[in-house]
Amino acid sequence: MIQTITIQQKQEWNDTVQQSFEYDFYHTWYYHNISRDGEPVLFKFTEGEDFIAIPLLRREIVGSHLADLTCVYGYTGPLSNKPFASLKKSTVQNFKTTFLDFLKKNRYITVFSRLNPFFNQLALLKEFGGVYDNGKVVYIDLRQSIEAQRSQYKFRLTNKIESLRKKGFYVKEATTREDVKAFTAIYQENMRCVHANEYYMFSEDYFIDMMRSKEFICKLLLVYCSGKAVCGATVVCTNKIIQSHLLGTLNEYRKYAPAKLLTEEISLIGRRLGMHYFNLGGGYGFKEDSLFLFKSSFSDLTLEYKSWRFVADKDAYQKMLCENNIDPETDVDFFPLYRYINPGSKKGEEEQKQKEEELVV
């Protein structure tokens, strides 16, 4: 059986995600419902007692009768009620056949999905091809003792965290509208500094809705100094994984690096909530830059981050590249290439949005 579940079918979407063997915050109906990057669709294939599903965003290709599929920003990829490696080969092959038919029927040229480094989704997607290595994410194993965790901290990190505490910095969970208002001001200041699109200027109501969601646990944590909120983060817990979704620091307090104290406190909260892993994420664009070094100062543990870049209609794809005067052999790391606009001549809308997203998450 094949289903194309839309965002209007909240219960069906939620049931599919919650019945999955493993899933993340980014798979949920709530997170797709707030996306403005395309029309959310959950493709679901069921065979007997098993199912395979993949959440995507449908985008029209301007000036054509074609479309493509992408994903929300974050760690998504396919879902199933069983580990992908334990599914019957016939089930996987039948899913592949039906999904390819779905792409052809709806005239989708390409599919792009950021994969979840904690799940073995490659057992399924290797049947299609198009899986790319993009870099690494850092994580902390919260099942180890806190002493073992802290023994992995890089030189001076422990001293820095203790120094922040001695200077009067402390972390508190948000409980009032005033707390949310303080974080919103911090976050929006950060967005203005990076000249982010208006899309990313989230309001107080956005954060309150997240904290009230029943699909995952969301907490808002604030770092205070002398009674003033100077840093904060929305923290999401799903399926034994805790991670910071949005984080910000007041510009005048960046020199103190309060995010270091906040990061350790998030790990302690994760332990209390029974989480197994704290996903710190990677660098900007998943490169091993200064942000990556900051995160890796907490842990030596990393996972490979991959994306799925599948070309369903090769002829149409090549034609689109030709029409946009793009060399198919270019070394630009962007997919699909026909949506790329050379920033040397003009800021491409898609490229600019991608950069802004890297700064937000």
How far, in Å, are 51, 238, 274, 301 from residue 120 at the CA level?
Answer: 16, 17, 22, 17
pLDDT band at 332 (very low <50, low <70, confident <90, very high): confident
Per residue in 277-312, pLDDT tens?
Answer: 999 998 877 778 888 999 999 999 999 999 999 999
SS3 call for 112: strand
In the DSSP assignment, the letter for residue 76 is: B
pLDDT band at 201 (very low <50, low <70, confident <90, very high): confident
| Spatial separation of the C-alpha atoms in residues 225 and 231, rounded to whole Å | 9
All residues at 6 or more sequence positions from 341 whose CB lies less than 8 Å from its CB, including other chains:
347, 348, 349, 350, 351
- Tokens 């999401």 -> residue: 236
More confident residue, 344 or 48: 48
Over the chain, what is the mean pLDDT? Answer: 91
List phi, psi (to 5°) of 26. Answer: -70, -15
How far, in Å, are 48, 170, 228, 233, 326 from residue 25 at the CA level?
Answer: 27, 27, 30, 16, 36
Cβ pair 234, 217 in contact under 8 A:
no
pLDDT band at 342 (very low <50, low <70, confident <90, very high): low
| Spatial separation of the C-alpha atoms in residues 256 and 321, rounded to whole Å | 47
Residues 105-115 have a mean pLDDT of 97
Among 111-125, 137-151, 224-238, 343-357, the least confident range: 343-357
Q: What pTM value is reported for the model? A: 0.89
> Tokens for 322?
């030709």
Per residue in 13-22, pLDDT tens?
Answer: 999 999 999 9
Q: Counting every residue, how long is the chain?
A: 361
Beta pairing, strands 108-114 & 67-70? parallel
Beta pairing, strands 67-70 & 50-60? antiparallel
